[in-house]
Amino acid sequence: MIAFSEKKRKSIRQLATEILLKVDTRKSYADVLLDHSLKDATLSERDRALLTELAYGTLRWRGKIDARLNLYLRDPLEDTDPFIRNLLRVAFYQLLFLDKIPNYAAVNEAVQLAKAHGGNKVAGFANAVLRSFLRENDKTAAAPATNDWQAILATEHSHPRWLVKKWLDYFDREETEALMRANNTIAPLVLRVNSLRSSRETVLALLAESGISAVATRWSPAGIWVKSRSLVNRLPGFQEGLFQVQGEASQLISYLLSPQRGERILDACAAPGGKTTHIAELMADTGELIALDKSEKGIEKIRENIARLRLTSVRTAKNDVSHQLPAKLGSPYDRILVDAPCSGLGTLRSHPEIKWHRNETDIKRLSDLQERIVDRVVHYLKPGGVLAYSTCTLNKDENENVIRDFLERHKEFVLDDAANYLPEEASSLVCGSYFLALPHRHNTDGFFAARMSKVG
């Protein structure tokens, strides 16, 4: 349980509610909204910590919170005014999960915010719901009785029912529960050292000199796990380009591709540029690396990272690789990376809102797109070249099935054993011939990747 001071709590609760409202009604990304709020110079470190906790905590546990809330409502929660719905979620999160925030304070400030939003009637509604919950004085009150154990798993671990069912088809029950528990924890901040400008030992020493607790990552030879809370752009060495923020599993994809000096390589879906810049570093910033993305904002972010890391071998262009590339970009490549657009279900520790935004229709739409992309890019790969396919999601439809169907359509490709190309310390992160990293086993994002060679 987490304790926070009462300082400025009202303003922080209002900020949290507004963030959650936009996530709920606009499908906005919580990290972008939160980052904007955290840049407010008037917020203390304690305020920033509380705002982060309220926003992410409420999103992580929204399913369980909603089940509790619905017990005290006459009408379904989804029919409630969106601001009030999310205000009640924030209040219930505090009552259910946070210690040393007095119940009266959480309730009184929620009621005052409800009054400011909708007047006395709305305030009375919020007060009645919250007081009814407190009168029961049972933080572990269960949702209505059911014999549906999948529904119970979904509620208790705060994941949508459709996703629980899909994972139970992918893993067994014990592992599915372990995965959901891991998804409701906080993802570590991981850096990737820019090997062209520094070393892991040097950056670790630099962080230690500034009083920042950090350790070397277990699986990636270039990674650093930062244990101290800190804004990334304030870490020593960030502005000098000594490192890039990149999850540990994501770092391993570039090793799987195994780029070589002087090659011509395509990063087909490159934003925000973590893998792009790592590939360039592994090539010693030689050869030619083409980084494409269909988003102009994504291209801008890649360029920012390239400039900060002081790389010169990367060329960027705005292009949708599910369509034919222009002639200047279509000449043959030695290696191609498709870090495919995906459902992102392996990143729920960092992006808990994804589990509430996605549905089964999205999985089908994305798997169709992934197949179009890999079918398109193979025409730009040299004979003897390497194609790496990766996603940050965990389901067969976007992972194993995409590769299985691709190999059926393209007999000129063979599946390589991922273990032979990963760093020695990460060679066990495999399932058959595939790379597979899991939050509950490896303390990383959920990642899948396949490496294929063009032999015909």
- For the domain spanning 9-145, the CATH number is 1.10.940.10
Section 255-266 average pLDDT: 98
In CATH terms, is domain 248-454 a member of 3.40.50.150? yes
- The answer, yes or no, to whether residue 331 has pLDDT greater than 90, is no
- Residue 437 structure tokens: 């990293």
Tens of pLDDT, residue by residue over 59-75, are 999 999 999 999 999 99
- The answer, yes or no, to whether residue 273 has pLDDT greater than 80, is yes
CA dist., res. 370 & res. 375, Å (int): 9
Alpha-carbon torsion angle 419, 424, 429, 435, nearest 10: -40
Q: Percentage of the chain with pLDDT > 90?
A: 87
- The answer, yes or no, to whether residue 375 has pLDDT greater than 50, is yes
CA dist., res. 106 & res. 65, Å (int): 15
CA dist., res. 450 & res. 165, Å (int): 25
pTM above 0.95, yes or no: no
How many Cβ atoms sit within 10 Å of the Cβ of residue 169? 10
Tens of pLDDT, residue by residue over 36-92, are 888 876 888 889 999 999 999 999 999 999 999 999 999 999 999 999 999 999 999
Q: Which of 4-13, 104-113, 151-160, 267-276 has the lowest mean pLDDT?
A: 4-13
Considering only CA atoms, which of 227, 235, 222, 236 is closest in space to residue 193?
A: 222
Section 5-30 average pLDDT: 83
- Contacts of residue 192, defined as CB under 8 A and 6 or more positions apart, other chains included, come to 220, 222, 223, 224, 243, 244, 245, 246, 251, 274, 278
Tens of pLDDT, residue by residue over 427-440, are 999 999 999 999 99
pLDDT greater at residue 41 or residue 202: 202
Catalytic residues: 392
Query: From its phi and psi, is residue 266 left (phi > 0), alpha (psi between -120 and 50) or beta?
Result: beta
**What's the pLDDT at 43?**
85
CA dist., res. 298 & res. 276, Å (int): 12
Asked if the domains at 9-145 and 248-454 fall in one CATH topology, the answer is no
Given the structure tokens 């904007």, which residue do they identify? 36
Q: Where are the domains of the chain?
A: 9-145, 248-454
Q: Sign of the C-alpha dihedral, residues 234, 50, 126, 58?
A: positive
Tens of pLDDT, residue by residue over 101-127, are 889 889 999 999 999 999 999 999 999
**What's the pLDDT at 121?**
97
- The answer, yes or no, to whether residue 130 has pLDDT greater than 90, is yes
Q: Sign of the C-alpha dihedral, residues 80, 86, 87, 89?
A: positive
How many Cβ atoms sit within 10 Å of the Cβ of residue 229? 12
Section 17-28 average pLDDT: 96
